Amino acid sequence: MARTAVKITEEEKNRQKDFIREIRELPQRPQTYHVVTYGCQMNAHDSEKIAGMLEEMGMKEAAVREEADFVIFNTCCVRDNAERRALGNVTWLKEVRKTHPNLMIAVCGCMIQEPGMAEKILKQYRFIDLAFGTANLHRFPELMYSALNSDRNVVQVADEDVIAEGLPVRRQRTDAAYLTIMYGCDNFCSFCIVPYVRGRERSREPEDILREAEELQKTGVKEIMLLGQNVNSYGKSLSCPMSFAGLLRRLEQLGIPRIRFMTSHPKDLSDELIETMSGSSHILPQFHLPVQSGNDEILQKMNRHYTREKYLERVHKLREAVPGIGLSTDIIVGFPGETEAQFEDTLSLVEEVRYDGAFTFIYSPRVGTRAAAMDHQVPDEVAGERIKRLISLQEELQKETLRRFIGMKEEVLVEGLSRRSEEAVSGKGRHAVSVTLPGNLGDVGQIVSCRITGVRNNTLIAERIGDEE
Ligand code: SAH
Ligand code: SF4
Ligand code: F3S
Does residue 91 fall inside a structural domain?
yes
Residue 32's pLDDT is: 97
Query: Looking at the structure, do residues 149 and 216 belong to the same domain, yes or no?
Result: no
Does residue 343 fall inside a structural domain?
yes
CATH number at residue 17: 3.40.50.12160
Residue 82's pLDDT is: 85
Mean pLDDT of the chain: 93
Of 161, 182, 209, the residue that ends a domain is 161
Does residue 217 fall inside a structural domain?
yes
CA-nearest residue for atom 18, ligand 1, is 192
Query: Looking at the structure, do residues 235 and 151 belong to the same domain, yes or no?
Result: no
| 3-17, 118-132, 434-448: range with highest mean pLDDT | 434-448
Nearest-angstrom CA–CA distance, 50 and 61? 11
* H runs (alpha helix) in 254-356: 271-278, 296-301, 308-321, 340-353
Ligand 3 neighbourhood includes 78 CB (under 6 angstroms): yes
The answer to whether 250 and 422 have CB atoms below 8 angstroms apart is no
**Whether the predicted pLDDT of 436 surpasses 80:** yes
Q: Of ligand 3's atoms, which has the minimum distance to the CA of residue 78?
A: 4
Query: Looking at the structure, do residues 187 and 283 belong to the same domain, yes or no?
Result: yes
* H runs (alpha helix) in 219-307: 244-252, 271-278, 296-301
Ligand 3 neighbourhood includes 76 CB (under 6 angstroms): yes
Overall number of domains in the chain: 3
Range of the domain at 456: 406-464
Of 404, 428, 451, the residue that ends a domain is 404
**Whether the predicted pLDDT of 160 surpasses 80:** no
Residue 88's pLDDT is: 85
- C-alpha closest to that of 57 among 30, 81, 23: 23
pLDDT, tens digit, 9 for 90 and up, residues 2-57? 455 688 889 999 999 999 999 999 988 999 999 999 999 999 999 999 999 999 99
Ligand 1 neighbourhood includes 263 CB (under 6 angstroms): yes
Percent residues over pLDDT 70 in the chain:
98
CATH number at residue 416: 2.40.50
Does residue 1 fall inside a structural domain?
no
Instruction: Give the binding-site residues of ligand 2, using a 6 Å CB cut-off.
Output: 185, 187-189, 192, 194-195, 229-230, 265
Query: Looking at the structure, do residues 398 and 260 belong to the same domain, yes or no?
Result: yes
Does residue 301 fall inside a structural domain?
yes
Query: Looking at the structure, do residues 205 and 291 belong to the same domain, yes or no?
Result: yes
The residues, ordered by sequence, that sit 6+ positions from 163 with a Cβ below 8 Å of its Cβ are 5, 6, 7, 8, 183, 202, 204
Does residue 131 fall inside a structural domain?
yes
Of 146, 161, 176, the residue that ends a domain is 161
Its pTM stands at 0.94
Query: Looking at the structure, do residues 176 and 154 belong to the same domain, yes or no?
Result: no
Query: Looking at the structure, do residues 115 and 207 belong to the same domain, yes or no?
Result: no
Query: Looking at the structure, do residues 322 and 364 belong to the same domain, yes or no?
Result: yes
| 96-105, 162-171, 284-293: range with highest mean pLDDT | 284-293
Does residue 469 fall inside a structural domain?
no
pLDDT, tens digit, 9 for 90 and up, residues 140-159? 999 999 999 988 888 888 87
In the reported structure, the alpha carbon of residue 188 is separated from the centroid of ligand 3 by a whole-number distance in angstroms of: 14
Nearest-angstrom CA–CA distance, 26 and 149? 9
Query: Looking at the structure, do residues 267 and 363 belong to the same domain, yes or no?
Result: yes
Query: Looking at the structure, do residues 253 and 399 belong to the same domain, yes or no?
Result: yes
Query: Looking at the structure, do residues 322 and 397 belong to the same domain, yes or no?
Result: yes
Query: Looking at the structure, do residues 148 and 170 belong to the same domain, yes or no?
Result: no
**Whether the predicted pLDDT of 259 surpasses 90:** yes
Residue 213's pLDDT is: 97
Residue 115's pLDDT is: 86
Does residue 272 fall inside a structural domain?
yes
In the reported structure, the alpha carbon of residue 229 is separated from the centroid of ligand 2 by a whole-number distance in angstroms of: 6
CATH number at residue 229: 3.80.30.20
Percent residues over pLDDT 90 in the chain:
80
| β-strand partners of 105 | 71
